[in-house]
Structure 1
Amino acid sequence: MSGRHDAAECFARRFQRLQEVIYPADLGRPYTEREIAEAVGMSVSQISNLRNGRSVPRADRAVALATLFGVRVEYFFSPDEDPYARDVERHLRAIEQQRRGEPIGQLNRAAGGSTLLVGGPAPANAGLLDDDQVRQIAEGVAVLPHDMRETVHTLVDQLRRVARQHKSREGQPR
């Protein structure tokens, strides 16, 4: 088997897994191939070829797909035993568990997000992003179309307001 064929199979398997599990709450269902294609600037047939292991995306398109699903691009090509790939899979299983109504503790909706916290209260700094995560988000936003960047900025502003409200409530005496 050629290396390119192996890469295409690995990419397809991981891509299908993300498509099955990661989707916006407002849709309540997985992305369609058309929605993915429109989000990353590809054709539906190109997305189909990726899902079926017939091709491997160019680097810029792999990055766009990774950004869409909230993972680092290496997830698509890393071996199963890679620590990052295992972490993403753990997050995906937790999302599935949450959808089934099973308790899982706190969960980051993006598959490649911060550490999953199972049970018990979250540490005080659990929601904080490190510099690499902030840089990765900024780089991902840069490749989005203008209207999508505006949506991301609005969401970030809303999250900041919620975080400030939460922080001010924590500071109040009980």
Structure 2
Amino acid sequence: MTDGFSDPGPAAAGPLGDIAARVDDLARKLGMSQAEVFDVHQLSDASGVPADVVQALLDGRAAGEPDVQARFLQRFAALRRSRLKPNGRPYTQQEIADGAGMSRQQAGALINGDRRPTMEHCDAIQRFFKVHAGYLTAEDSEALADALLRTEQELLHAFAAREHDRERELDALAPAGEDPLERLLQDHGVRGIAWRAAQLPTDKHRDKVTEWLDMLLESVKRVDP
């Protein structure tokens, strides 16, 4: 088994495939390899999905644990392995019980599979380990998609930062008196600007692009006869 998949790219289908394709596209634009962004062990740690299931889902094969309690036990075990105390040791049953607001007996029964978890149990454990809601119970494909969405956001931030640095470099090289907004339009065109705006992480960032374009349109109107 490999730690990712090779070209031509993700084979996952449905919503997971759409997200994987976007991540793959961003990675290529950033000059990153698929092994970096689709490392099955990192995605397994992030999602709680077993590495072999991550690999199968990325390859487009049907996989995953259908039983919610079995998924809970898998994810709970993954949390105890990967979310350690500052000293590098795993949390004890008593520490989990105290942190999640339950008795040691309740925690032990949940860990051993002797008790079916309630949503309250799941919420308390997720808060204790500082993971997102649904971590312990989401279907494997959904959990992996959520992990890839977080990867996508990280790549979008990296892409935006790189583009910002490039624009600053171009500003430094621009002749005195040249309008940077007009140069932005010349360099990227309307389609390029629109595509980049769509990749921005928040409406606040996209609104800023709209303000720039409005300023550019006003400047063009002023010079038109």
For Structure 1 versus Structure 2, the TM-score category normalised by the shorter chain is 0.3 to 0.5
Which of the two has higher C-alpha Rg? 2
Higher helix share: 2
Higher relative contact order (CA 8 A, sep 6+): 2
Q: Could you tell me the TM-score, scaled by structure 1's length?
A: 0.44
